[in-house]
Structure 1
Amino acid sequence: MSGSRFLLSNGILSHTVDAPPPVKVFLETHPGAYTTSRTHNNASCLLFWERHMKRLSESIQILLNLAPRLLFKSNNSAILQPSSATLPIWQPTIQMLVNDSMCKVLPVALKERTDCNELAITTLVSGNLEELNAYEIVSEERMSKILDVHVHVETYVPPIFGVWGNGAHLAVVGYGRHIAAAKYSDWVRIRKTLEKLRPPSVTELLLSNDGDQILEGCVTNFFIVCRKDWNSDYGKAWGDYGNKYSFEVQTAPINDGVLPGTIRQLVLEVCRSEGIPFREVAPSWSQHDIWEEAFITNSLRLLQHVDSIQVPTDWQSAHSKTWKDISWTKKQFQVVNFYSCCN
């Protein structure tokens, strides 16, 4: 077992000669709903843990209703729908099992932690559908035996915020996710097919169903800051340049098929509380001339400035090629200019 990587499965900490696999490898080989969080302030606290547990429960509920094959392992190819009678007890049982696992693995990971690094914590919940459907009534005790709870912990070095050159480089390459409202491990395997379209300098891939309306990243939510009323009130927009009310934050709505990320929701809550104009609308590449800033969010990076975005000039032909065969249109952001005008 590596001092920088730990895996607790159903209450048992891995003790092997080889280190537990990286989290991507682990998720590729195990079905289920998952969430990833991290520690903060020299591993003194967990960021937004209750929100992550709520979203994990919501993902499980969605997969139970829409795609149980993505949640459960099964020996039967014709997977049946789980009994609705089991649904009400999922959330408290999941939180109990996950918190119990965290109490076992975190002290070990913290003791072995080096160089004051933070910890990335991925919780995966799965189970066996045949065992679940074998019971007419599923008690909390039985549920704890049916569910598989895995907690993967590894060291994480957060990027330094606000340092020039630490921005993300994005490319729009793939279609939106199936059942995007739930976070499930099979997506880790599916998104690997997009890697042939990743240009060498790109650090995150964006998804779009038409090449214009940008939904989200493979592992992030996507935001832009644009000038307001560009078409209808050109003069006012430029006359008020630097006033926060002359700008608008945009990100795709959940109904368009994006993951309701924890940090995504926090950004919208901050905009609302601070009176910052925002709209839940998919940013349109055809209007990128009025984009002044872009950023991505997830639970590890929190918020990361975008340095550049590139989009295939021919969306329909892009998906059968490699990145070398694609003609790209690119937008470069000047972050220094934008921040200086808003201060």
Structure 2
Amino acid sequence: MIYLSYTKHLKSMSGGSRYLFSKGILSHASDVPPYRLFLEAHPGAYTTSRTHDNASYLMFWERHIKRLSQSIQILSNSAPQLLFKSHNAASLQPLLSNLPVWQLALKRLVNDSLEKVLPIALKERVGSEELIVNTLVTGNSEELNVSESTSEDNMSKIFDVHVHIETYVPPQFGIRGNGEHLAVGGYGRNVAAAKYSDWVRIRKTLEKLRPPSVTELLLSYNGDQILEGSTTNFFVVSRKEDWDSDDGKAPFDYGNKNSFEVQTAPTTDGVLPGIIRQLVLEVCMKEGITFREVAPSWSKHEIWEEAFVTSILLSQTLIFECF
């Protein structure tokens, strides 16, 4: 296994208030399981957002809605059993007709459900608490079979929207003494382009293999090229390689950003196209920072200057140090 230390990871949200709006019913507190248990128990596509700045807004909500729609489309086409509640889901026809229509209808369904529960959670939050918002969309294969089309009128019958909200206090980052550990200990995900709840159950099995001090597993097909974390995207800041130089490395200048490049595995390698991952690439492009979508190789870690992971639940990216 490869071990890395990094600044403090998000701690368990046990003890926080929980809310669920599902099938027109609002549940609260003791009636609502933690979001991980809820996702494990239901098939479907989901997305995770969170509030920021004293719960003043939801982070990147429009991007989350778009990614949720994309996940539904991908699962419908390639793995309907991960989306629909049915033993015969694998034989269902893809949901490709009137794609813009049902995406717009889905957005309305999700926002309508969110509006039923978010104001209550905001009103009852305490102090510096923020809110984790998980939106799960599960398909009803029986309704799909009797519906003539995936029109806007039929969307509320074909899909169930569940909005789960949980409070938590963001941890303090950047404290060296709070360093924890990661390890490479799992293969890449199937249907990685979509975010689906069954992965929560699968990664729970993987997590049983990790040593006690490890808080996140990095995924790799060969133990060398790192794809992503089980809940995060993985990046390294590497010195550039110059294959024309005698020692195989470019002249190194700490003061010159052109001496470095940011690396992260491409989505074609089987990596979730995370929202924060995309934002990092957009920032690199805007600031003129070189980046390559290539799986970082542990065999070249001696030219890594630092590494970090990204996740919507982290208030900032986590900085790693190898040891």
Which residue of structure 1 lines up, in the alignment, with residue 24 of structure 2? 11
Q: Is the contact made by 2:237 and 2:262 (CA closer than 8 Å) also made in structure 1?
A: yes
Separation in structure 2 between the aligned mates of residue 255 and residue 239 of structure 1, nearest angstrom: 31
Separation in structure 1 between the aligned mates of residue 273 and residue 68 of structure 2, nearest angstrom: 11
Q: Which moved more, 1:112-121 or 1:22-31?
A: 112-121
**Deviations, residues 69-124 of structure 1 (Å, cap 9, x unaligned):** 00010153664224543644321111101111111111100111112211000000
Q: Given residue 9 of structure 1, which amino acid in structure 2 is its aligned partner?
A: S
Once the two structures are TM-superposed, the CA of residue 166 in structure 1 deviates from its matched residue by 4.3
Once the two structures are TM-superposed, the CA of residue 131 in structure 1 deviates from its matched residue by 1.2
Q: Is the contact made by 2:138 and 2:161 (CA closer than 8 Å) also made in structure 1?
A: yes
Which residue of structure 1 lines up, in the alignment, with residue 273 of structure 2? 260
- Say which of 115, 120, 135 aligns to 1:103: 115
- Alignment of structure 1 residues 219-298 onto 2, 5 Å: 219-229=231-241, 232-233=244-245, 237-298=250-311
Which residue of structure 2 lines up, in the alignment, with residue 165 of structure 1? 177
Separation in structure 2 between the aligned mates of residue 245 and residue 11 of structure 1, nearest angstrom: 54
* Greater relative contact order, per chain length (Cα 8 Å cut-off, separation 6+): 2
- Alignment of structure 1 residues 97-176 onto 2, 5 Å: 97-167=109-179, 169-176=181-188
Q: Is the contact made by 2:195 and 2:272 (CA closer than 8 Å) also made in structure 1?
A: yes
Separation in structure 1 between the aligned mates of residue 195 and residue 89 of structure 2, nearest angstrom: 22
- Structure 2 gaps, min length 5: 1-14
- Say which of 192, 207, 211 aligns to 1:195: 207
**Residues 168 and 181 of structure 1, relative CA distance in 2, 3 Å threshold:** farther
**Deviations, residues 240-261 of structure 1 (Å, cap 9, x unaligned):** 1332111111000011110000
| TM-score, with structure 2 as normaliser | 0.89
Matched, 1:43 2:55: yes
Separation in structure 1 between the aligned mates of residue 88 and residue 252 of structure 2, nearest angstrom: 65
Separation in structure 2 between the aligned mates of residue 302 and residue 288 of structure 1, nearest angstrom: 26
Could you tell me the percent identity over the aligned residues? 69
Q: Over aligned residues, Cα RMSD in angstroms?
A: 2.1
Q: Is the contact made by 2:135 and 2:163 (CA closer than 8 Å) also made in structure 1?
A: yes
**Deviations, residues 261-317 of structure 1 (Å, cap 9, x unaligned):** 000000000000001111000001110111110000011115332445xxxxxxxxx
| TM-score, with structure 1 as normaliser | 0.84
- Structure 1 gaps, min length 5: 309-330, 333-343
Separation in structure 1 between the aligned mates of residue 95 and residue 304 of structure 2, nearest angstrom: 48
Count of paired positions: 308
Separation in structure 2 between the aligned mates of residue 278 and residue 239 of structure 1, nearest angstrom: 17
**Residues 292 and 15 of structure 1, relative CA distance in 2, 3 Å threshold:** closer
**Residues 307 and 121 of structure 1, relative CA distance in 2, 3 Å threshold:** same
The runs of at least 4 consecutive aligned structure 1 residues that moved more than 3 Å come to 75-79, 165-168, 230-239
Separation in structure 2 between the aligned mates of residue 47 and residue 59 of structure 1, nearest angstrom: 19
Which residue of structure 1 lines up, in the alignment, with residue 6 of structure 2? none
